[in-house]
Amino acid sequence: MSALDRQLRPIYEALDSYNNKQAVALCTKALKKGENQTIKALKAVALDRLGKEDEALEICDEIKRTRPTDDAVLQYICMVYKASKKTQDVIDVYTAAYNQAPRNEELANHWFMALVRVDDRKQMQQAAMKIQKQFKDNSRYLFWTIMTIWLQRVRQAKNGPEGTKGMLATLTERMLIKAAEDGRIKDYEALQLYIEVLETHGKTTDALAVINGEMGNLCKVQADRKHIVARLCKANKSWGPLRAVSKELLLASPDDWLSYCNYIEALIQILRETTDADSRSNIIEQARSLFSVLESKASSGKRTKRGPLLAGLELEKALQTNKLQEADLPKLSGLVMEYLEKFGSNLSCFDDVRPYLSLVPANDFDGLFQELQKIDAKGLTIASVRRLVTIEKIRRWSDTKLTADEANARAEHYIAAYKATVPLGADFDERELQPGDDYILLLAHTLLDRHAQKRGVFFAVVYQSRGDFACSSDTAAEDRSMLADVAAVLEYGLARSKFNYQIKLLLIRVYVELGKKLFLDIVLSIDAMRIDICAGVHKRMFDVAKTMDIKQIQHDTLSYLFTDDIELLGCPETSLRALVTSLTIYGSNERETPEMIVQAFKFGTYSKIPEFIRFRDRLKNSLQYNVSQRQLYRVEILRRFPALDNLGYYLEILDENILSFSDDYISKLSDNRDLTLLANWTSSGKPIGEVVSGTAFPRKRDAWLKLHALIPLILRGMCTEGAPLPADDLTDLKRAINEAQEQNEDSEQLTAADILLEVAGAVVAARTHADTSASPGKWDSKTWTGILDRLKRASFHPFESILLRLFA
């Protein structure tokens, strides 16, 4: 062991065990004996971990000036730079190192990757080209160059200047053609890149020649190769070949849905181009007989596949909607019935046939519905229950509006049916769904419908008494108790099926709605005794949410289900925790995804590079990110009041980037919320969340995002004494309020914003016109009584109004 190693080992050990203090001490001691860059750099790492960022950076800068080339030293100081988000320093350090040692391949790689992390595509290209020249034999650098040019073209695809775009495109293509000629396309990923580039330039014929040629052998799985051919044929509008290759794919794998769709699309196009009636019916017959061959193939294996039969339906539907054939309702109806007969006890059956239900004459289902009436609890099996549930869903789908009596009868039927199924699932693993779970949901949906109809009445009452903003406690109580019934039903089902996420999600939405109403009651002082119940509702809501174990990317896609409106529930501490947790994913994205783009370069997985970049951008520009951050600001501001210093300080550190509110900014946000998750089996397809809340759910956020960017910004202006209040913000706020009004935003939210506008206007006037001693006291007393009056009325909306009292 060398002397240096002997010094280094305890330092590494200290760092590995996160004993950072000791690591610093060891470094300092070692450095006293003599200068050493590795030890210095390690000291910086340890200091940084101790939170002594400034000292750490100072050391790094010192090392940086000596233009180090030692790999370890570079890595350590870059760790510190990265932690402080000093990406430019990372690039500078590696650029300098590479220039001094251009033959060091490892350094070259580090340099390039540093550029990849910050996504500077022009510099990436220049670096890749230099490296490629230096290490000519390694094809990987050639592809880095090609990729970096391609990425510039991808970035410009939307709004770049045509000339540059064309140039980048041609350059990429030419380099790939040359690479192909030189035999440098040697793996599937490189081949895919080549094909994608040709395809994007509309050169599908060339691309087809490539995949069908020698190089196509790089694709080792035959079906994958044929799928590429199909994709290209489709882009090329070569319908004959598309039909042929889809047929081949289907014969090999009769459940391949994409190939059915391609086949049918090709068929429709071919039919359109065929004028002769006989040939047309001939072509159609060919398709039908192919599907029946596939069907017998698919049922000869150990398991009958659903594909061919469903594809038959898809074919008939396509023929009809494209008016290529007289509507043959009995035929369609027959196919749907056959499907139900064969696959009715699959859980997915209803979703499978849903697209075709509207083609079946309503009465044709009557026979099936008869079956529902006579449930023989003893004869039930899991399969028969599933079949019954499928039919129940179809009945719900067919329902026109039920009368109150019908709805009651239906509800009772669901309860009885559910109870009959309970024994069947008694021995199930608790992690599996219970056979009758969907009865619980059907029941809850039915009750929610009834609640929604009644809500119209409640609203009318509130509206009439708008003057004092109180609705009679009777109607409010009825409203609440209907929701509580739904919650009880769902809890009942959940007790027997502990992991059913459908039940949980709906329950959460019902609790949020109930919580909002209870909180409103408290603020309105209709029933101050309800505070405990209200807290109980919040607690249960969060407990259920917690059992769902929402994490990572789900924070972006699913949080809205339990954080939408959370700021209106009057439970700031819990809301805060939920919001802060949900925001963690965006930090992870910033940290992790660039590293993964680096990995894709490293492994030469070219197809994944643009894919990962797109993914990173979707998360970075997430709509939900903007919503959660604004909600968090709202809750925090409320929580800090009335400690004014604290509030003022908080307002100063708001992140202005995320509080952007231009139309352009908002329209570019990516809506990643998973809206498909909650089941609803009605034909209107109205999201069940909307049925629960009676408003758009999730909320429309365009105007909201503007309002809730402007409100904190304006509050900040008002709280910072002496600071000029930007009058522009007020104009923007006025505009945002108008917009929100047009979009029917909740009026209570708008009242508060409206008042803010008025108060802020007064502050602006006071600050600009009066001398420094201006104070609200000097304002026109009439203005003040007006404002105070409105404040009182808006008092059911605690947030802004409390804040505004500050100025009263």
Partner 1 sequence: MTTLRRFVADDLFKFNNVNLDPLTETYNISFYLQYMAQWPDYFVAAEAPSGSCMGYVMGKAEGAGKLWHGHVTAVTVAPECRRLGLAEELMEILETVSEKIYNGYFVDLFVRVSNKVAIGMYEKFGYSVYRRVLGYYSGADSEDAFDMRKALPRDVRKESIVPLPHPVRPEDLEW
Compute, in degrees rounded to 10, the torsion defined by CA atoms 456, 457, 458, 462: 100
Extended strands (E) in 585-737: none
What single-letter amino acid sits at 529? M
303 makes contact with partner 1 (CB under 8 A): yes
Counted residue by residue, the chain has a size of: 808
Among 328, 547, 261, 537, CA closest to 431: 547
Instruction: Compute the distance between CA of residue 271 and CA of residue 517 in angstroms, rounded to an integer.
Output: 58
Number of residues that bind partner 1 (CB under 8 A): 61
CB of 370 to partner 1, least distance (A): 26
DSSP state of 677: -
Instruction: Compute the distance between CA of residue 95 and CA of residue 131 in angstroms, rounded to an integer.
Output: 12
- Answer for the pair 510, 487: CB distance below 8 angstroms, yes or no: yes
Binding mask 113-152 for partner 1 (x = CB under 8 A): ----------------------------------------
Torsion region of 594: left, alpha or beta (phi above 0 gives left; psi -120 to 50 gives alpha): alpha
| Both tokens assigned to 492 | 């009942």
| Both tokens assigned to 327 | 């509507």
Instruction: Compute the distance between CA of residue 374 and CA of residue 748 in angstroms, rounded to an integer.
Output: 50
Question: Nearer Cβ to partner 1, position 29 or 591?
Answer: 591
Binding mask 378-417 for partner 1 (x = CB under 8 A): ----------------------------------------
Among 173, 199, 256, 567, the residue binding partner 1 under the rule CB under 8 A is 256
Give the DSSP per-residue string, 569-591. SS-HHHHHHHHHHHHHHHHHHHH
249 makes contact with partner 1 (CB under 8 A): no
Segment lying near partner 1 (by CB under 8 A), choices 360-368, 545-553, 769-777, 788-796 = 545-553
In the window 410-449, what residues touch partner 1 (CB under 8 A)?
A: 429, 431-433
769 makes contact with partner 1 (CB under 8 A): no
In the window 614-633, what residues touch partner 1 (CB under 8 A)?
A: 614-615, 618
Among 150, 239, 260, 414, the residue binding partner 1 under the rule CB under 8 A is 260
Question: Nearer Cβ to partner 1, position 7 or 502?
Answer: 502
Q: Going by C-beta distance under 8 Å and a sequence separation of 6 or more, which residues neighbour residue 40? A: 27, 31, 59, 62, 63
Q: What is the largest CA-CA distance in the chain?
A: 97
What single-letter amino acid sits at 164? T
Question: Nearer Cβ to partner 1, position 500 or 749?
Answer: 500
348 makes contact with partner 1 (CB under 8 A): yes
Residue with tokens 């294996």: 301
Among 553, 696, 774, 806, the residue binding partner 1 under the rule CB under 8 A is 553
Residue with tokens 């909320």: 699
Cα→Cα distances 600→87, 116, 124, 244, 593, Å: 20, 11, 15, 35, 11
Among 512, 518, 545, CA closest to 534: 518
Segment lying near partner 1 (by CB under 8 A), choices 43-51, 97-105, 249-257, 272-280 = 249-257
CB of 699 to partner 1, least distance (A): 20
306 makes contact with partner 1 (CB under 8 A): yes
Among 6, 178, 551, 668, the residue binding partner 1 under the rule CB under 8 A is 551
Among 133, 501, 525, 747, the residue binding partner 1 under the rule CB under 8 A is 501
Instruction: Compute the distance between CA of residue 779 and CA of residue 788 in angstroms, rounded to an integer.
Output: 13
556 makes contact with partner 1 (CB under 8 A): yes
Question: Nearer Cβ to partner 1, position 466 or 551?
Answer: 551
CB of 234 to partner 1, least distance (A): 14
DSSP state of 724: P
| Both tokens assigned to 495 | 């007790």
Binding mask 707-726 for partner 1 (x = CB under 8 A): --------------------
Among 48, 89, 255, 513, the residue binding partner 1 under the rule CB under 8 A is 255
In the window 205-224, what residues touch partner 1 (CB under 8 A)?
A: 220-221
CB of 198 to partner 1, least distance (A): 20
CB of 541 to partner 1, least distance (A): 17
What single-letter amino acid sits at 360? V
In the window 576-615, what residues touch partner 1 (CB under 8 A)?
A: 585, 588-589, 592-593, 595-596, 599-600, 602-603, 605, 607-608, 611-612, 614-615
* 478 CA to centre of own chain: 36
Q: Tell me which residues touch partner 1 (CB under 8 A).
A: 189, 220-221, 227, 255-258, 260-261, 303, 305-307, 310-311, 314, 346-348, 351-352, 355, 429, 431-433, 499, 501, 548-549, 551-554, 556-558, 585, 588-589, 592-593, 595-596, 599-600, 602-603, 605, 607-608, 611-612, 614-615, 618, 672, 674, 676-677
